Amino acid sequence: MSSAIRSAAFVGARLLDGRSPDVIRDGVLLTDELGRIVAAGPAASTPIPAGVERIDATGLTVLPGIIDCHVHLSLRLETVADATQRSATDLVVRALQSGRDFLDAGVTTVRDAGYTPAGIKRAFASGAFPGPRTQVSCMPLSQTGGHGDSWTPSGAMLETQVSDLPPGVADGVDAVRRAARLQIRAGADWIKVMATGGVLSAADTPDASQFTVDEIRAIVEEAKAAGIKGTLAHAEGTAGIKNALRAGITSVEHGDLIDDEGIDLMLARDVPLIPTFNINFALMDEGRVARGEVPPWAIEKMTYLFKRQQQNFRHAVERGVRIVMGTDSFSGMYPPAELAYMAEFGIGPFRAIQAATTEAAKLLGLADQVGTLEPGMQADLIAVSGDPLSEPTLWRDPARIVFVMQGGRVIADRRGA
């Protein structure tokens, strides 16, 4: 799938660096044998050293690799029958397959938002398996009966036991501190908090607030004390969003029912919103529903949230909330489509690209490594056919991403297809 790192020159490209909407036409981008970008600019002022391999990017737009800050590599939408048959090995295989597929689609960096062990990020980092640069949160933390509690009304527990994913269900300040410490011990870069109910949990509603402010604050304190990247909150309901923000959460995921007071808190604390539109469309896909991969009660909850989220997202954007790309993508989903949804629902095509590059890199603490096409940065980049500024819908078509490079290695080259 990938090739050796070598010096290369992309020629004839439109360069869109992730920082500015100003496109460099007839651009040249140079990479070196260390897998870094050494130059990016107009052909007239960017000389190409002798002997460097030329990659013809005529008619293509070259951008930084996509950064998805909310994925679930180990999961997929599946029937109850399939869920009862999955083993820990199945989850590991699924995570490795998802990492390969996401990378092939141009997603070069991800933050896994739960249910993936730290061994997966090490497997990708070692080069033993193709996959994105990965940060993990191990097991999400949930109160009893919360969004991360796999109990069902039948009494069955539809959670696969994985030895290096510590339990995440806890109640009370002391218990959640210990649960957070267990995730950190297991290699978590982030701690995921279920601050509200959700769509795919049987025992709650998205409006329900979960965990108290004190409980969430204890989790935030543990993450800060350990020096990990931060905390993220699954937060759909109005009250739970504000609880998470008051407790000091680093990012808000979904934010479907956010109100002006919640927006005020986000602005005051400079907390980004990660809308995850992609999963909403997957949950309402007629084929998935017909196959029984989405239960009827989940469809009801998603229908209730669908238009409300779009309206509240537009309002948050208008008021100046930072937006970062996250898709909630599972195995079998296509993360780049999120850029088209974000563009359509309020931030426009360039800010959607920023959400998936510079803003995402900033959130993950990787702004000095990825997210732009600047000298010294990792050569994580993609090339798309056409102009995503004038045609943002191209992000929904997998055939439009024709070239993927990660750290100077060619992952996919479909220019002749």
User: Can you give the pLDDT of all 417 residues of the chain as single tens digits?
Assistant: 567 888 999 999 999 999 999 999 999 999 999 999 999 999 999 999 998 999 999 999 999 999 999 999 999 888 877 887 888 898 999 999 999 999 999 999 999 999 999 999 999 999 999 999 999 999 999 999 999 998 877 777 777 788 899 999 999 999 999 999 999 999 999 999 999 999 988 889 999 999 999 999 999 999 999 999 999 999 999 999 999 999 999 999 999 999 999 999 999 999 999 999 999 999 988 999 999 999 888 999 999 999 999 999 999 999 999 999 999 999 889 999 999 999 999 999 999 999 999 999 999 999 999 999 999 999 999 999 999 999 999 999 999 999 999 999 999 999 987
Distance, CA of 10 to CA of 317 (rounded, Å): 35
Identify the sign of the CA torsion 254, 258, 263, 268.
Answer: negative
Fill in the amino acid letter for 232. Answer: L
The answer to whether 23 touches 389, Cβ cutoff 8 Å, is: yes
Pairing status of strand 66-71 against strand 107-112 = parallel
Q: What is the pLDDT of residue 116?
A: 96
Domains and CATH numbers, the chain: 8-65+371-413 (2.30.40.10), 66-363 (3.20.20.140)
**Residue burial 269-278, b: 16+ Cβ < 10 Å; e: rest:** eebbbbbbbb
Q: What is the pLDDT of residue 1?
A: 53
Hey, which residues are catalytic here? 192, 328
**Helix (H/G/I), strand (E/B), else coil: 329:** strand
The answer to whether 258 touches 241, Cβ cutoff 8 Å, is: yes
Identify the sign of the CA torsion 202, 203, 205, 207.
Answer: negative
Query: Which element (helix H / strand E) includes 35?
Result: none
Paired with 251 in beta bridges are 232
DSSP string spanning 135-201?
E--BSPBB-TTSTT--B-TTS-B-----TTS---B--SHHHHHHHHHHHHHTT-SEEEEE-B--SS-
Q: What is the pLDDT of residue 179?
A: 98
Distance, CA of 197 to CA of 204 (rounded, Å): 5
Q: What is the pLDDT of residue 150?
A: 85
Q: What is the pTM of this model?
A: 0.96
